[in-house]
Amino acid sequence: MGVEIHPTAIVGKGAELADGVSIGPFCVIGPRARIGADTKLRSHVVIDGATEIGARNDIWPFAVLGGPPQHTAYKGEDTRLVIGDDNLIREHATMNLGTVHGGGVTKVGSNGLYMIESHVGHDCLVGDNVILTKQATLGGHCLIGDYVIVGGLAAVHQFCRVGRYAFIGGLAAVVKDVIPYGSVWGNHAHLEGLNLVGLKRRGFSRESINTLRAAYRLLFADEGTFQERLEGTIESYSDSAEVMEIIDFIRADASRPLCLPEREV
């Protein structure tokens, strides 16, 4: 199939372009870039640093991928950005390299949608099928699970974890960890319940959703201590993989506290 490079594009010596790659007008590709098969750069895209992009990605004008971390401790160390396959990366989206203090690599999964002016900060680990809507922002070192949706103008604080299938409402300021399947809103964000709409769209069975709802009510009720409720949830729902995913998420070592409901559930 070969590679298509517009005459106005600049491709650094040493860049690796797989078959079917299309480089549009006025793109700038650094010498350490690796771009997978059938990926399309529409125009004015900048690929900087040691950036590896998988196959069949569609990257729109003025996206900047692999720029230096926005961190005062970064001194030009050899760090990377790795992006998976089949992502749609829209205008002005940015994804930064990692830092040596955060593992040295920023990773973005596959099948994601990164809307206009969305941002993935240094050392983030982002799963598959993630959606960052308009101007959604991930601070450094965030862990974002599969199928997470981050609403428009929402921001996730550095070092926060967001579990699989969670939903973050527009304009939310997330400064605490979000459980898998949870739905958070507000500034600062608080837990509003489960992401029921997302669970239904992703094909979770009615039985699984009802089990999650019952476990949620037990876990975040007002009665007893949180540790007592945690143990009661484990005892009652240990055979539910989804519930135990939430339990494992809560019990894991974390640098941020947990998003909790503002009112009784």
What residues are annotated to the active site? 122-123, 140
Greatest mean pLDDT range, 221-225, 228-232, 261-265? 228-232
Q: What is the pLDDT of residue 263?
A: 72
102 contacts 123 by C-beta, under 8 angstroms: yes
Q: What are the structural domain ranges in the chain?
A: 4-141, 201-251
Q: Calculate the alpha carbon distances from 65 to 52, 90, 190, 236 in Å.
A: 10, 11, 31, 46
pLDDT tens digits along 49-103: 999 999 999 999 999 999 999 999 999 999 999 999 999 999 999 999 999 999 9
pLDDT tens digits along 168-209: 999 999 999 999 999 999 999 999 999 999 999 999 999 999
Q: Which CATH superfamily is domain 4-141 in?
A: Hexapeptide repeat proteins (2.160.10.10)
Strand-pairing partners, residue 41, are 23, 59
Q: What is the pLDDT of residue 76?
A: 96
Q: Which of 163, 160, 88, 83 is nearest to 118 (CA)?
A: 88
Whole-angstrom distance, CA of residue 8 vs CA of residue 122: 30
| Mean predicted lDDT score pLDDT of the chain | 97
Q: Is the pLDDT of residue 161 over 90?
A: yes
Give the predicted TM-score (pTM) of the model: 0.96
- Provide the 10 A C-beta neighbour count for residue 207: 9
Percent of the chain with pLDDT over 90: 97
* Residue 148 main-chain phi, psi, to 5 deg: -75, 140
Q: Which of 158, 112, 106, 161 is nearest to 137 (CA)?
A: 158
Q: What is the pLDDT of residue 265?
A: 62
CA atoms within 13 A on the CB side of 109: 17
35 contacts 19 by C-beta, under 8 angstroms: no
The crossing angle, in degrees rounded to 10, of helices 206-219 and 226-237 is 150
